[in-house]
Amino acid sequence: MAELAVVSVRKAKMQKYLEEENKNAQIVMDLLKDPNEFLSTAQIGISLIGVLTGAFGGVTLAKPLGKVISFIPYSEPISVVIVVIVTTYLTLVIGEIVPKVIALNNPEEVALKVAKPMAILSKIAKPVSFVLAKSSSFVLWLMRIENKNDDAVTEEEIELMIKEGREDGTIEKEEEDIIKRVFKLDDQKVESIMTPRNEIIWIDLEDERDVNKVKIIESKRSIFPIAKGELDDFIGVVQAKDILSAMFGEEEFDVYKIVKEPLVVSENLETLELLKEFKENQEYVHMSLVVDEFGSVEGLITLNDLLEGIVGDIPGIDEEDDPQAIQRADGTWLIDGRYPIDKFKKLFEFEEPLPDEEEDNYTTLAGFILSISGTIPDENEKYDCGRFIFEIIDIDGHQIDKVLVTDLGPEEEIKEGK
């Protein structure tokens, strides 16, 4: 029981006991630092109990039982067999199974209770346990097996613990979703959540003032990139509240006085790193321009985009600009081309990677279709991918705008498009 309890403790829980100044918790942590010595001590005790139980049973119980059943032929060997069976049964139930179940039910509590006795036993048996520990290390070295205590916790293990907590009711569904999104942010590039260049609403200083005024009013946005002639020649960003304040001020309106410097990041930056950049660079306005290796603007990200990446879609904030997926009466789906591919998979409860998802690194439904087609498709063109049939409904210039998706059911496997 002591052996299984100590090796099964969760160090996070034990750390909590340490913070509460539980002295036994420190003993448990010390035992875990050198598991070889602790396990050797436990094994010495287990082996001694086994040997003493066998000797006691064979010498003390077999002969008296043999006399009791002396009227039976071969009474002595039969008595030995009976004693062995009973001793083995009791050893397995009382000495193995029950203690292990107790230890697994609450390893931390059991470990704290047995910590002091096991520490004392370790000191008493240190000469023998030292020899056993060194011997086991030598055998492991001969077998080319590294003797290490790996405490690293992977994302997969954390997700499994979260799933268990969700099933037990200790973790809410919203908490589970947020944690999963945070893990996903670390694997995504900023291009997966940015507003692409062709959808950026920006102020061109070469346009008439009335043109920009209409653009600001109709967009209903609160912050705009500002440039002269070309978006790549951006000057900075301006906030709608600053424009309004300057227009109603007594001084002559000068847009250059309200221009603020945006955070400029590479398209290859991970999303979670961008959040860190926003936190560390408070002097920048909460908008980031995403540029490629040549310095051309590829997209735009606001702090709200990052927030939605963590907590999910926030109703009422730029909803009209969000790519939509609408189910029609016949069961088919009309989906925007820039609909995120991870949302597409979640919509249809599809967990496996799509064809060439990792190689082509596409992030939208349009990117997936371009990956399987190899060329920019024409309107009404269809692609049969096994489970899904994709029909191009609308092309805006060279961009796939609307796609009609027919889901044939999860029993159909995804395959390369035709």
What band does 247 get if pLDDT is binned at 50, 70 and 90?
low
Q: What is the pLDDT of residue 321?
A: 56
- Count of positions (residues) in the chain: 418
Q: What is the pLDDT of residue 418?
A: 47
Q: What is the pLDDT of residue 374?
A: 81
Q: Quick one: CA dihedral 353, 359, 360, 363, positive or negative?
A: positive
What average pLDDT does the segment 251-258 reach?
74
pLDDT in tens, 99-155: 889 988 888 888 888 888 888 888 888 888 778 778 887 888 888 877 555 556 677
What average pLDDT does the segment 65-81 reach?
82
CA 384, CA 380: separation in Å to the nearest integer? 13
Side-chain-facing half-sphere of 149: CA atoms under 13 Å: 9
Residues 203, 227 contacting (CB under 8 angstroms): yes
What average pLDDT does the segment 349-363 reach?
76
Better pLDDT: 346 or 290: 290
pLDDT in tens, 169-208: 778 877 877 887 777 777 778 877 888 887 888 888 888 8
pLDDT in tens, 33-56: 777 777 788 888 888 887 887 777
Q: What is the pLDDT of residue 414?
A: 60
Better pLDDT: 251 or 271: 271
Q: What is the pLDDT of residue 149?
A: 55
What average pLDDT does the segment 312-333 reach?
71
What band does 98 get if pLDDT is binned at 50, 70 and 90?
very high
Give the predicted TM-score (pTM) of the model.
0.52
Q: What is the pLDDT of residue 404?
A: 92
Q: What is the pLDDT of residue 251?
A: 63
Q: Order of strands across the sheet with 203-204? A: 203-204, 223-228, 230-239
Q: What is the pLDDT of residue 400?
A: 87
Instruction: Give, to the nearest 10 degrees, the angle between helix 173-187 and helix 155-168.
Output: 170
CA 109, CA 115: separation in Å to the nearest integer? 10
Over the chain, what is the mean pLDDT? 80
Lowest-pLDDT range, 200-209, 314-323, 345-354?
A: 314-323
What band does 221 get if pLDDT is binned at 50, 70 and 90?
confident
Q: What is the pLDDT of residue 250?
A: 60
% of the chain beyond a pLDDT of 90 = 3
Q: What is the pLDDT of residue 314?
A: 60
Residues 403, 392 contacting (CB under 8 angstroms): yes
% of the chain beyond a pLDDT of 70 = 89
Better pLDDT: 199 or 381: 381
Say yes or no to pLDDT of 22 above 60.
yes
What band does 32 get if pLDDT is binned at 50, 70 and 90?
confident
